[in-house]
Structure 1
Amino acid sequence: MTGAATRRRLLAATIGIASLGALSAPTAQAQPAPKRIVATFTVLADMAQNVAGEAALVESLTRPGSEIHDYSPTPLDVVRARSADLVLWNGMGLERWFERFFSRAGNARQAVLTEGIAPIGIGEGPYQNQPNPHAWMSPTLALVYVENIRKALSDLDPANAATYAANAARYSDQIRAVDARLRESLARLPADRRVLATCEGAFSYLTRDYGLREAYLWPINSEDEGTPRQVRAMIDTVRRTRVPAVFCESTVNDRPMRQVAREAGARYGGALFVDSLTAEDGPAPTYLKLLEANAELILRGFFGSQATR
């Protein structure tokens, strides 16, 4: 069941419970409404919904396709956070707007999902040596996210702790299965060209997992993106390493990387998914599909029409 389908089912159930309560005898005990969980962006919301199952309703502050780093919260976002039972966020400096936002969200309960993860430092630029926040791009570290979600939900709602534990275990097995498929697929990349060239340096954890080297135009999404100096440096890198394809991310402007591809004689492989899922009819409506869609795109970039899963 997709996250949206689950939310619709939970909403219908909540409305139904309320209607039954209005018609029942005064002595009847109303069923508790599902807990309401808010996550800062779609990837975390999908992870949380898989752990919550039908015991809680999860929604994302940002919509599919939104850029998370410099998101501007709306007054409605503040209302949603204030009324939530729990707010989940990534941390590691990803949601640079969050601390300012959260100060207006009252006393909402919160959990940081990167708790316990040793970060990789950003290598250059204005955020040098600060944590690279994209830890969810590693399936191995995604298991830490899942455990942190399970713990936060269980602490909030002990009555459903067994449900959260069972859901977390099942979802973790699914993540491990996708990890194994990605490891096998990406092992096909040529040993002398195992470089993932992208717009943002958002793949440090993924490249570490799968034995790739990382190259990027800018280290983290900010106002300084796609400068002539960044483009020239990437062109030189692509020519030197003979990388057959370069990529960008779905939430940023791909024009600088397309210029790199033209001038370096590489293929533009397309947009990878990082900070956001797609709508349900898109190629990455869930976190697991995001991982698989990225691996398929990388293989097609390197091998063209000969790429297979």
Structure 2
Amino acid sequence: MSKSTFAVSMVALGLSCSSVAMAESKIPVVTSFSVLGDLVQQVGGDHVEITNLVKANGDAHVYNPAPMDAKAIASAQLVVMNGLEFEGWMPRLLESSNFKGTKLLAAEGIETIKGHSCTCGGHGHHEHHDHDHDHDHDHDHDHDHDQHAHHDHDHHDHDHEHHHAHGEFDPHSWHSIKNVKVYVKNIEQGLAKADPKNAADYQRNAANYIQQLDKLDLELHKKVAQIPVEQRKVITPHAAFAYMARDYNIDFHAPQGTSTESEASAGDVAKIIKQIREEGIKAVFVENIADNRLIEQISRETDAEVGGKLYSDALSEPTGPAPTYLKMMEYNIDTIVNALK
């Protein structure tokens, strides 16, 4: 065998060994919905094999787990979910799949906002929450009875079996980059615990990604600053953007509550229409996961134009405008700013 043939053989052998090692070292991770799937991929890199349950453009509020979901969870080392009772179907799924691995609540330790039933202004009430509440168990729904008391549609009685009944806090916390930096640290620690030998890689990936988040946050604040504060008023189908409202001082209003399964009453819709007319609100938006007929009706009955589609509870498909978390945040802010200019 010539020297060059031997060298090529050794390189090929080295590549095949490294690819086998890489395949063997991938840890199986299940994520509950597409935003978390992307965040875990950013931190986990080549070391993780991700099965994401609620796919692109999917609505986690009304998701019905399939038998293959239980199978994926049964073989996972780590299950990553949002927490804050966003995935009301998850506790039963974990139980039925006899999951023995590590469960990670990505939103643990973020600065939460109290659940809003209908509208969420830029100065919405928020408070720090950094202790271990396992919000994925459907409990304590009486906390938000007062939040919903004025709604005609509160006929669900906060039944423990209604998986859309969120708890005390608004679960849509990924619409704050500040919060997602906490998510990333939690994911890094969860992966390092499940796979200690690659902890240094997870730490490096997380640090790099947090730098990208910080850079994007500065850019988005500059874009929003182009719009006078008094003009930053928008309507969305359901109340999913309270954290964006807080961080960027945008006034969001929604006829539906924090779940797409809650129904807007005729009174709620009339109130929104009156508000649009009185305050001269220019833009209403549809969502990638919501039934948008209500928004279209509101647009028809007012001078507010549909300013585009926002990605609320799910990323777009890979060929769409919001296939990653960074692109989703940029796309949503661009869409809002362009509609309000």
TM over 0.5: yes
Q: Percent identity?
A: 32
SS in 1 for 2:237: strand
Conserved? CA contact 2:85–2:167, under 8 Å? no
CA 271–247 in structure 1, closer or farther in 2 if over 3 Å, else same: same
Tell me the alpha carbon deviations over residues 140-160 of structure 1, each in whole angstroms, 9 at most, x when there is no partner. Answer: 111000000000001111100
Letter matched to residue 37 of structure 1: V
Contact 1:189 1:299 in 2 (8 A): yes
2:42 corresponding residue in structure 1: 50
1:200 and 1:248 in contact (8 A); partners too = no
1:40 counterpart residue number: 32
1:87 and 2:79 matched: yes
Change (3 A) 1:263 1:79: same
- The residue number in structure 2 matching 1:228 is 266
Q: Equivalent of 1:134, from 163, 166, 172?
A: 172
Residues 91-102 of structure 1 mapped to structure 2, 5 A cutoff: 91-102=83-94
CA positional deviation for 1:104: 1.0
SS at match of 2:88: coil
Conservation of the 8 A alpha-carbon contact between 2:233 and 2:282: no
Question: What residue is the counterpart of 2:144 in the other structure?
Answer: none
Q: Does 1:118 align with 2:111?
A: yes
CA contact (8 A) 2:284 2:305 kept: yes
Q: Please, which runs of 5 or more residues in structure 2 have no aligned partner?
A: 1-15, 118-147, 149-153, 155-164
For residues 330 and 89 of structure 2, what CA distance do their matches in structure 1 show?
Answer: 30
Matches within 5 A, 1:200-219: 200-219=238-257
1:190, 1:236 → 2: CA distance? 22
Output aligned runs, 1:67-82, within 5 Å. Answer: 67-82=59-74
**For residues 257 and 300 of structure 2, what CA distance do their matches in structure 1 show?**
22
Rg larger in 1 or in 2? 2
> By how many angstroms is 1:301 displaced?
1.4
| RMSD of aligned alpha carbons | 2.0
- Structure with bigger RCO (C-alpha 8 Å, 6+ apart): 2
- Give 1:17 shift: 6.2
For the residue of structure 1 that corresponds to 2:96, the secondary structure is coil
Q: Deviations over 1:186-216 (max 9, x none)?
A: 1112222222321111111111001122211
Query: What is residue 105 of structure 1 aligned with on the other side?
Result: 97
**Higher deviation after alignment, 260-269 or 158-167:** 260-269
Q: Which runs of 5+ in 1 are unaligned?
A: 1-15, 22-29, 304-309
- Equivalent in the alignment of 1:8: none
Q: Output the TM-score relative to the length of structure 2.
A: 0.78
Cα deviation digits, residues 35-59 of structure 1 (max 9, x gap): 1111000100100100001121223
Deviates more, 1:294-303 or 1:149-158: 294-303
- Local SS of the residue matching 1:53: helix
Shift of 1:75: 0.3
Deviations along 1:216-260, one digit per CA (max 9) or x if unpaired, are 111222433343222211111211221111112210111101111
CA contact (8 A) 1:196 1:207 kept: no
- State the secondary structure of the residue aligned to 1:73: coil
Distance 2:115 2:191 in 1: 31
Which residue of 2 is the match for residue 196 of structure 1?
234
| 8 A Cα contact 1:193 1:241, kept in partner | no
Output one character per residue of 1:42-85: Cα deviation in whole Å (capped at 9) or x when no partner.
10010010000112122311211110112100000000011111
Give the Cα separation in 1 of the matches to 2:308 and 2:178.
Answer: 25
Counterpart for residue 184 of structure 1:
222
Q: Provide the rounded CA distance (Å) in 2 between the counterparts of 1:116 and 1:128.
A: 18
The one-letter code sitting in structure 1 at the alignment partner of 2:320 is G
Could you tell me whether the CA contact under 8 Å between 1:70 and 1:95 is conserved in 2?
no
For residues 298 and 20 of structure 1, what CA distance do their matches in structure 2 show? 47
Q: Name the CA distance, whole Å, in 1 between partners of 2:234 and 2:185.
A: 29
Q: Which amino acid aligns with 1:105?
A: S
Residue 62 of structure 1 is matched in structure 2 by: 54
Change (3 A) 1:18 1:78: farther
Report SS of the residue matched to 1:283: coil
Q: Distance in 2 between matches of 1:218 and 1:96?
A: 18
CA distance in 1, matches of 2:61, 2:288: 14
